[in-house]
């Protein structure tokens, strides 16, 4: 799985190809993302290309969040589709994740 990494003023911004994040690829997702966040303290994940996410996919994103937090970092997400946003709200993930509507808002949150 190809994970795209951009760097903006010390902030790592990750995005995945257009895909569904579910039980069929959650492990591969974690293996692809883990090296990209190793030792990083400011991470933003663009979820705008994730069309569907199930509990396994959510667990994969949560494991990346935990890895970043374990390294003393902060993790933010943006660009949730309506379906993914509904899942986040259903399981109250917005209590854990800082969720932003767009890339610029997420970056600004680190700069404040």
pLDDT, tens only, 29-39: 999 999 999 99
Indicate the domain borders of the chain: 4-111
Please list, in sequence order, all residues whose beta carbon lies within 8 angstroms of the beta carbon of residue 98, skipping any fewer than 6 positions away.
74, 75, 76, 77, 106, 109
What percent of the chain lies above the pLDDT cut of 70? 100
What confidence category does residue 82 fall into, taking pLDDT thresholds of 50, 70 and 90?
very high
- Under 8 Å between Cβ of 35 and 66: no
**pLDDT tops 90 at residue 2:** no
Question: Distance between alpha carbon 112 and the CA centroid of its chain, in Å?
Answer: 20
Q: What is the pTM of this model?
A: 0.92
**pLDDT tops 90 at residue 1:** no
CA–CA separation, 5 and 13 (whole Å): 6
Q: Which CATH superfamily is domain 4-111 in?
A: STAS domain (3.30.750.24)
The pLDDT tens digits for 35-77 are 999 999 999 999 999 999 999 999 999 999 999 999 999 999 9
């Amino acid at each position: 799985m190809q994970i795209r990494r951009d760097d903006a003023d010390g902030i790592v911004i990750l995005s995945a190809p257009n895909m569904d994040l579910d039980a069929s690829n959650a492990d591969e997702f974690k293996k692809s993302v883990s090296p990209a966040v190793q030792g990083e303290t400011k991470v933003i994940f663009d979820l705008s290309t994730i069309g569907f996410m199930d509990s396994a996919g959510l667990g994969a994103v949560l494991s990346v969040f935990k890895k970043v937090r374990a390294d003393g970092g902060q993790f933010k997400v943006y660009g949730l589709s309506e379906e993914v946003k509904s899942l986040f709200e259903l399981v109250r993930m917005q209590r854990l994740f800082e969720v932003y509507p767009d890339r610029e808002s997420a970056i600004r949150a680190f700069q404040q």
